[in-house]
Amino acid sequence: MSEVTIQVRTAPRDRRFPTQNQTNHCWARYIEFHACAKAKGEDDPECEKFKRWYMSLCPAEWVEKWDTLKEEGRFPGPE
Amino acid sequence: MFNYLKLIICPFLTFSLSTVFFTDAPENWQLGFQDPATPIMEGIINLHHDLMYFICVIFIFVSWMLSRTLWHFEKTQNIVPSTLTHGTLIEIIWTITPACILLVIAIPSFSLLYAMDEIISPAITIKTLGHQWYWSYEYSDYLNEEGESIIYDSYMIPEEDLISGQLRLLEVDNRMIVPVNTHIRIIVSAADVLHSWAIPSLGIKCDAIPGRLNQTSMFVKREGVYYGQCSEICGINHGFMPIVVEAVKLPNYITWISNKLSE
């Protein structure tokens, strides 16, 4: 069993999404990550931050679905 | 005689003063609230008590007016009926007074409402998803070496599997674990139909809507096990998908997360 270091941190509050409905927050973070990954590469620390945030906010099922759509070239958002 | 009484009363007093028991689950024939564990629930209870003051005063006043009118204007005591149909002054008074009462009530009510919506920079995000008919929890702030996060389902323990002391229709196999004194963001959604994630002691009731992420916050002030139930009718087993939140100290929470990640 390997030791895992736990850091207590999560996606910060975003002033663009001040309401109870956080659906667009999750979506925006997912888009931001892919935009960043396209520009700087997936392993860039700046992009890794966006990935952590969308992982924190979006249900795993949604992320899986969007990833599949991306792979199939059917993703409805910006590529 | 006094010494004898002292012998009986003293241990009881010492015990009752030193030990506080909280009710974080419903009791038989309960009319009041469960004990609060978050500042929001304390606020809800205080608002309720404040409103009860207004309700009592209005109830007594209206009952007094009604019974006095019935008594004095009863036909044997008041043979000549009144021809009075309206009075401008009295109508102004009985319109303005309730409006003022409502305005006074609105002040603490709105401040509580906005306090509930406020998300103070959270340290943890936990997602809770309603399914027909169980809850699933996702802790995705932490990933293991394979890049997987913690996702598990929480089913009710059926009556025949309960052990002594467990609560019927309220106990689950996997509880949601949260740390005390930490700002937690809860994201509530559903995978199939409408559900509602509600825990009375924590002052939370948040609708779970498919395709939408609802956000609420939680700041648990004491360790404990808090019970709740699905609060939006969601199908045949709506009454059999309870919620259990266990609040532990932060180091214990971190240990639990590490163990879960290594599983």
For residue range A29-50, list pLDDT tens digits in order: 999 999 999 999 888 888 999 9
Name the token pair of A18.
């001040």
Size of interface A-B (CB pairs under 8 A): 79
How buried is residue B109: exposed, middle or buried, by Cβ count under 10 Å (0-12/13-18/19+)?
Answer: middle
- Provide, as residue numbers in chain A, all residues whose Cβ is less than 8 Å from the Cβ of B215: 20-22
CB-based contact (8 Å) between A74 and chain B?
A: no
Cα A19 to chain centroid distance, Å, stands at 19
Cβ contact (<8 Å) for A59 and B213?
yes
Decide if B121 contacts B137 (C-beta within 8 A): no
In this prediction the ipTM stands at 0.91
pTM attached to this predicted model: 0.86
Decide if A26 contacts B138 (C-beta within 8 A): no
The 10s digit of each residue's pLDDT in B128-178 is: 999 999 999 999 999 888 888 999 999 999 999 999 989 999 999 999 999
Instruction: Tell which CATH classification among 3.40.50.300, 1.10.10.10, 3.60.10.10, 1.10.287.90 matches the domain B39-117.
Output: 1.10.287.90
Cβ contact (<8 Å) for A4 and B187?
no
What's the one-letter identity of residue B128? T
- Provide, as residue numbers in chain B, all residues whose Cβ is less than 8 Å from the Cβ of A3: 258
What pLDDT is attached to residue A1?
46
Residue ranges covered by each domain of chain B: 39-117, 124-262
- Percentage helix, strand, coil, to 5, in chain B? 40, 25, 35
CB-based contact (8 Å) between A60 and chain B?
A: yes
The CATH superfamily holding the domain B124-262 is Cupredoxins -  blue copper proteins (2.60.40.420)
